Amino acid sequence: MSKFGWRSDKINNPILPGFNPDPSICRVGNDYYIATSTFEWYPGVQIHHSTDLQHWQLITRVLNRPDLLSMLGTPDSCGVWAPCLSYHKGKFYLLYTDVKRFAGNFKDTHNYLTTCTTIDGDWSKPVHINSSGFDPSLFHDDDGKQWVLNMIWDHRPDRSPFQGIVIQEYSEQKQALIGVRHIIFDGSELGCTEGPHIYKKAGFYYLLTAEGGTGYQHGETTARSKHILGPYEIDPIGQFITAKDSPLSPLQRTGHGDIVETANGDLYFVHLCSRPITSQRRSPMGRETALQKLIFTQDKWFRLENGGDKAPFNVGQQYLPLPATKNNHGVGNYNGDNSAIADFNSNSANINNIQINNSHFDDFENPELSIEFQWLRTPYPQEFMSLTKRPGYLRLKGMESVGSLFKQALIARRQQAFRYQATTKVEFSPSTFQQQAGLINYYNGSKYHYLYISYDEVVGKYIGIMNCEGDSSLAAKFPLGVTGVAIAVDVAVYLRANVDYQALNFSYSLDGHTFIDLGITLDASVICDETGEGANFTGAFIGLCCQDLTGLSNSADFDFFDYQEFY
């Protein structure tokens, strides 16, 4: 068992394992909902549900239509950043950024608002809020006003790009920002101030911001003011959560989060974290979501319940006591003083809360794709996948190359454990080296390990390995050579990936029982945030894909996908 073993008597961190960053949380009655970033993966914004803060279930992805989100051409690690989920007067609000450019001085960051009366319903056509920066959030004040915050991006070369946190009043009637925008906070000495949320308690407005960047200097800073427009006083302890001074803590990069109040008045903080597995501090599962208990001190500041303002007390705990329970139908978007508490008849999804087993077998008998899977960028998955053209199989139509920013035939699920095995069975008849299909361990267009079937003029149909480890030239390597292992033309092939922390071994079988290891151990740890160039904000996936660079759309039929975790 790993040091991250499951304890049934505790809340286990991370509560959302695998790529689930930038959490935003709200409570409606006895139901808790967390929204997390999805970047270039479609549909956008994952929503997890719980009734006890211990067991969480993925129930929907909100941005599931072209008018809500289209990311064709969006660069790696752009797309949907840092959503803010709130509930107010019978309606859910989701504010999110769709990032179209990251590299260089300029950032194209479009912020949108969509609403729905049910968490898993048909969300409204989005309202464009602004494009001045990213990480927007919406605060519902007790005087009836609503305020939008976001970090403001400064592209001028002689300025800090993180200019500060801007706030402006939002008119729901006009569906637009109104009045003057104000920069209310320029951050602490840690810098890179982003991810703002405002709360109201004990006569103060509290501003929480993520700082220090997304790496190992990350943290969360608190400031407060008697007035929403400031001035804001920074908490004298500095970051109330950070692992920057605790390199041996199992939870690293702690920060960027949101506060929720339980029915009996307890306070919890959801935040991102990562779990590096090598001495190079590589995190294949990217940034995950954890939970911490908070207290509110006599001098009116938020603190972690485990106490202290210095390392190792401000890094966050791996295990938490289970929360007290109380039947209450209040609304827990925390803005303090229980001012949001109101009677509520929950009309959300009817969800049975059970301990989630992340092992997953899909025989593709259902005509709808399992919620475990996502694809890249496009709102038109019917262009490359079908579960009905050959019932009982997932058919992937060969599209553009691995790494294409437009049309990839790739469906995958998150890696959510350090050790797992993934297996599939595929029928594929390539007639040229430009046609490939198989099993892929994928981070982005320049970081992947790919066990594929293709064709060579000399050996015919064969199994090969292609990998790319973050090279900016996107130059793929072929560890088995370009012709790999020859196989018969008309046979189905079982493909398997075994990941044991940083070791990845591919194997294949022709009968589904005897698997032949291909004899090469690949470095799974490079499929992570910390390697390669440019933006790296997501996490490792394992899935199925098909390419046809001739443009003839040769297809591959996958009989099943089996993902099994080991502890």
CATH for 560 = 2.60.120.200
- Same domain membership, residue 270 and residue 375: no
Write out the E strands in 73-122: 79-88, 91-101, 108-116
Mean pLDDT of 414-440: 97
The answer, yes or no, to whether residue 104 has pLDDT greater than 90, is no
Which residue in the list 22, 235, 261, 427 is annotated as catalytic?
22
Total structural domains within the chain: 2
567 versus 444: the higher-pLDDT residue is: 444
Query: 96 and 212: one domain?
Result: yes
Question: 383 and 237 in one domain?
Answer: no
The CA–CA distances, whole Å, from 494 to 154, 196, 395, 433, 511 equal: 51, 48, 16, 20, 8
Q: Is the pLDDT of residue 5 over 70?
A: no
Average pLDDT over residues 163-174: 97
Q: Report the mean per-residue pLDDT for the chain.
A: 91
Q: Is the pLDDT of residue 435 over 90?
A: yes
* Residue-wise pLDDT tens digits, 338-375: 333 332 223 333 323 333 357 899 999 999 999 999 99
Position 200 pLDDT exceeds 50: yes
- Per 3-state DSSP, the chain is made up of helix, strand and coil in percentages (nearest 5) of 0, 50, 50
8 located within any domain: no
400 and 547 inside one domain: yes
Strand partners, 63: 44
Q: Domain with 122 in it: what CATH number?
A: 2.115.10.20
On whether both 364 and 307 belong to a single domain, the answer is no
Assess whether 317 and 384 both reside in one domain: no
- Final residue of a structural domain among 267, 298, 321: 321
Q: 352 in a domain, yes or no? A: no
Does residue 333 sit within a domain? Answer: no
Residue 416 and residue 410: Cα distance in Å, rounded?
A: 19
Query: For 381-398, what is each residue's pLDDT tens digit?
Result: 999 999 999 999 999 999
Average pLDDT over residues 208-232: 96
Question: What is the model's pLDDT at position 4?
Answer: 55
* Pair 94, 129: CB distance under 8 Å: no
Mark 126-135 as b/e (b = at least 16 C-beta within 10 Å).
bbebbbbbbb
Provide the pLDDT for residue 338: 34
Can you tell me the distance from the alpha carbon of 545 to that of 432, in angstroms, rounded to the nearest whole number? 17
- Most distant CA pair in the chain: distance in Å? 78
Report yes or no on 449 lying in a domain. yes
pLDDT of amino acid 50: 97
Domain-embedded: residue 396: yes
Q: Name the residue range of residue 379's domain.
A: 360-566
Most confident of 4-18, 299-313, 518-532: 518-532
Buried b (16+ CB within 10 A) or exposed e, 159-179: eebbbbbbbbbbeeeeeebee
Q: CA-based angle 354:356:358, to the nearest 5?
A: 165
Residue 221 resides in a domain: yes
Question: Could you tell me if 227 and 366 lie in one domain?
Answer: no
> Does one domain contain both 427 and 509?
yes
Query: What pLDDT does residue 308 have?
Result: 66
pLDDT at 443 over 90: yes
My answer on whether 416 and 488 are in the same domain is yes
Q: Which two tokens stand for residue 210?
A: 């993520």
**Tokens standing for 499?**
């990941």
Note whether 174 and 258 are same-domain residues. yes
Is residue 312 reached through a cis peptide bond, with omega within 30 degrees of 0 on the bond before it? yes
d(CA 87, CA 96): 15
Q: Distance between CA atoms of 126 and 67, rounded to whole angstroms? A: 7
Calpha distance 148→125 (Å, rounded): 18
Across residues 451-469, what is the average pLDDT?
Answer: 96
Detail the DSSP E strand segments found in 202-328.
204-211, 219-225, 233-242, 252-261, 267-274, 288-296, 302-304, 319-321
Are 559 and 443 within one domain? yes
The verdict on residue 63 lying in a domain is yes
559 classed as catalytic: no
pLDDT for residue 476: 87
Flag whether pLDDT at 337 surpasses 50. Answer: no
pLDDT value at position 340? 35
Q: Is 90 exceeded by the pLDDT of residue 81?
A: yes
- Using the structure block, give the residue that is written with the tokens 């480890």: 469
Domain boundary among the residues 321, 346, 371 is at 321
Of all residues in the chain, the percent with pLDDT exceeding 90 is 83
Edge-first strand listing for the sheet containing 302-304: 252-261, 267-274, 288-296, 302-304
Q: Is residue 282 part of a domain?
A: yes
Percentage, residues of the chain above pLDDT 70: 92
Distances 312 to 219, 248, 257, 400, 509 between C-alpha atoms, Å? 13, 9, 19, 48, 48
Of the candidate ranges 34-43, 115-124, 328-337, 503-512, the one whose mean pLDDT is the lowest: 328-337
- pLDDT the model gives residue 545: 98
398 and 528 both lie in a single domain: yes
The pLDDT of 293-308, averaged and rounded, is 90
pLDDT given for residue 278 in this prediction: 83
Average pLDDT on 255-275 reads 96
Report residue 73 CA to chain centroid gap. 19
How far apart are the C-alpha atoms of 98 and 40, rounded to whole Å? Answer: 9
The answer to whether residue 2 scores a pLDDT higher than 50 is: no
- Residue type at 388? T
When pLDDT is averaged across residues 299-315 and rounded to a whole number, the result is 81
Candidate list 40, 76, 98, 194, residue with the active-site label? 194
Locate tokens 């996107």: which residue? 474
Gap between the Cα atoms of 220 and 293, Å rounded? 15
**Pair type for strands 219-225 and 204-211:** antiparallel
On whether the CB atoms of residues 521 and 365 are closer than 8 A, the answer is: no
Catalytic annotation present for 548: no
